[in-house]
Every structure is written in C-alpha cells, then in structure tokens.
Structure 1
Amino acid sequence: MGGEAEQGPSREVMFDLLGNSRRRRVLRHLLDEREITLTNLSARIAAWENDTTVADLSSRQRKQVYSSLYQTHIPRLSEHDIVAYDSEDRRVRLTGDPERLHRFLDVEEAPCSGFSHQWSRYFFWTAVVGSAAIAGNWLGTTPATHLGTESLYGLLTVVFMMLSVSFVMAVEGPKILRLVD
C-alpha cells in the first residue's frame, strides 16, 4: 500500500519523548555513534550537563545520569523501538530511523540558526555606524557636531540596549511567552 505509513512512533509520541533534554542528548549521540556502552553514554551526557570533561566528573555525577538513563530514559526510548538495550553487554544501540530522528531533532534548532547571522549583522552595523559618528564628531566632520561625545555615547548605548532587547525577544520570546502562560 502507499509508502505514506509512518514507521515508528507517531509525531505526538516523538514530541513527548523528545520533550526531555537528556533523551534528546542520548539520540543526538546515537546518531553520531550508533552503538555505545551505557557507562560511556552516561559519562558523556553527564560531562555535557555539568559543563566539564568526562575525566573531571565525580562518581556521583556519573551515577545520577547512569541511573536516570538505565531506569527511565533508555526504557522509554526502547519501548517505542527507537533504541535497543542489551543488558548482558550493557550496550545501547540506535534502532529508530536516523533520518526521521534528524528531522525531529532539527525542528528544535531551526529557529535559532536563522537568527544568528541576521542579528550579528545588525549588531555589527550598529557598531560601525556608531563608531563612525563618534569619530566624525571628534574630527568635527559630521552633521551632529552640535552634540557632545557623551551624548553620542549615550545614544549609541540606548540603540544597543534596544537592539539587545529586540534580539532576546526574537530568539527567546516564544519560550518566555510559554512560561508566562
């Protein structure tokens, strides 16, 4: 019959499963390395969560993530045939469709990637124009010579503050609004 049938969990189930950052991290890692021991996987995730290296992790940090993966996250992913866990070898293996997982995981990152270049240009050109205006004022060559340097610095500061607030609202606004609801 038509190739339209979805393989694997429904979209709703996938979004529910991916609602947890630790499960997203497991899947991202398994997309890069299709099979890994649970010990190594939990150490790498613990290092990422604690912003440190695997070598600098404490035993407690390792155990917390290991327990969480073993008791909760790996079984949830396994019951939906996204990963398989071999309890003898203590190995986790990706069994879900990698392309489908990439599409779901990329949904989360897509909005941010479009803003970084656009917003960096706004900040860059604001700095260039502001610096040129201040330099022109010092040299007495700009139309705004009746403004003092302090006034230009103040104006530039206000422009940067407004640009920063706009940036935060554009990038983080949907998250902030969800928290308010």
Structure 2
Amino acid sequence: MRNLAEQVAAWENETTVQALTSDERQRVYIPLYQSHLPKLDEEGIIEYNQSRGTVERTELADQLDRYLTVETQTEDDEESIQQPSWESYYLGVSVLSTILLAGTVLGAPILTALPGVAIGGSIVAMFSLVTLAQAMSERARGR
C-alpha cells in the first residue's frame, strides 16, 4: 500500500517518488487508507487487506482498464491518426440512407425501378457492415 500511495503522490505532484515530501505522501496515503481502497474493495474492484496493507487487482479491475487507460500516440499510430473515426462511417451511412429514401419517395427514376425491399435491405446491409467492421477492429485492438 505504501508503494501505491507514493506512486500516486508522485503523479499528483508531477515529481518522482524519491523527491516527495512527507506532507505530499500523507495527503495521498490517508484518503487511500481510510476511504478509496475500502470502497474499491467493497465494490469488488480490488482485494484490499487493510491489516497487512496489501492491494490486489481483481478481474473486474481488468474490465475497467479500457476506460482508465490514456492512449498515447506513437509513430506506429500515425496511420490511425489519418483514419476517420467510426462516427464518420456511421454518419456517412446515415446520409447515404437518407438520400436513398428521399430519392425513392421523390420518385428518382433509378430508385423507383428497385423494389422497396431492395432499398431497405441495402440500408440494413450498410449499417451491418459498418457495425461488423467496428466490432472486428475493436476486438483486434483488444477492446
């Protein structure tokens, strides 16, 4: 527990563990000991043995990592910087679907030649493909 408190104090004070003052350590240690760690233990996120001062992560903590981890950009991530977000793909499919439906309602010659089921099926297929691609992408990235 002491190591945890020191590391958190160092992060909060933007310094190293070795450069921490006693007051900086205490400002973190006391709330961790009295409040934060018991609450996390109560919720099943960690296993906290107060008498021994030990803290262990649980499987539930692993599930929270993706919400707590800050992703930093590296040179390997340059491709992802240029790649549009999934919201852009969904917006594009929504706009295309609206155009298809509006064209059908307004009697566009190309679209009126197609049965309504084909247009509806095309819209469902587009959303399904984008959703499947997103799911596969996030699974490959470990999310």
User: Which amino acid in structure 2 is aligned with residue 170 of structure 1?
Assistant: S
By how many angstroms is 1:130 displaced? 0.8
Q: Choose the corresponding residue for 1:106, options 62, 65, 70.
A: 70
Q: Choose the corresponding residue for 1:66, options 48, 61, 73.
A: 48
Larger radius of gyration: 2
Can you list the C-alpha shifts for 1:74-94, whole angstroms capped at 9, x where unaligned?
A: 9xxxxxxxxxxxxxxxxxxxx
Matched with 1:158 is 125
User: What pairs up with 1:22-101 in 2 under 5 angstroms?
Assistant: 31=11, 35=28, 36-43=31-38, 45=40, 60-61=42-43, 65-67=47-49, 70-73=53-56
RMSD: 4.3
Matched with 1:144 is 111
Shift in CA distance, 62/40, structure 1 to aligned 2, threshold 3 Å: farther
**Unaligned 5+ residue runs, structure 1?**
1-22, 47-59, 75-104, 177-181
The answer to whether the 8 A contact 1:43-1:66 is kept is yes
Query: TM-score w.r.t. structure 1 length?
Result: 0.43
Query: TM-score w.r.t. structure 2 length?
Result: 0.52
Shift in CA distance, 117/32, structure 1 to aligned 2, threshold 3 Å: farther
- CA distance in structure 2 between the aligned counterparts of 1:147 and 1:28, rounded to whole angstroms: 63
**Unaligned 5+ residue runs, structure 2?**
14-26, 58-68
By how many angstroms is 1:162 displaced? 0.9
By how many angstroms is 1:29 displaced? 9.8
The answer to whether the 8 A contact 2:47-2:56 is kept is no
The SS at the match of 1:143 is helix
Can you list the C-alpha shifts for 1:51-91, whole angstroms capped at 9, x where unaligned?
A: xxxxxxxxx537964339942449xxxxxxxxxxxxxxxxx
The answer to whether the 8 A contact 2:46-2:55 is kept is no
The higher-RCO structure (CA 8 Å, 6+ apart) is 1
Shift in CA distance, 42/139, structure 1 to aligned 2, threshold 3 Å: same
- What percentage of residue pairs aligned between the two structures are identical? 14
By how many angstroms is 1:171 displaced? 2.0
The answer to whether the 8 A contact 1:39-1:66 is kept is no
- CA distance in structure 2 between the aligned counterparts of 1:157 and 1:144, rounded to whole angstroms: 16
- CA distance in structure 1 between the aligned counterparts of 2:81 and 2:96, rounded to whole angstroms: 24
The answer to whether the 8 A contact 2:38-2:48 is kept is yes
The answer to whether the 8 A contact 1:130-1:156 is kept is yes
- CA distance in structure 1 between the aligned counterparts of 2:82 and 2:71, rounded to whole angstroms: 15
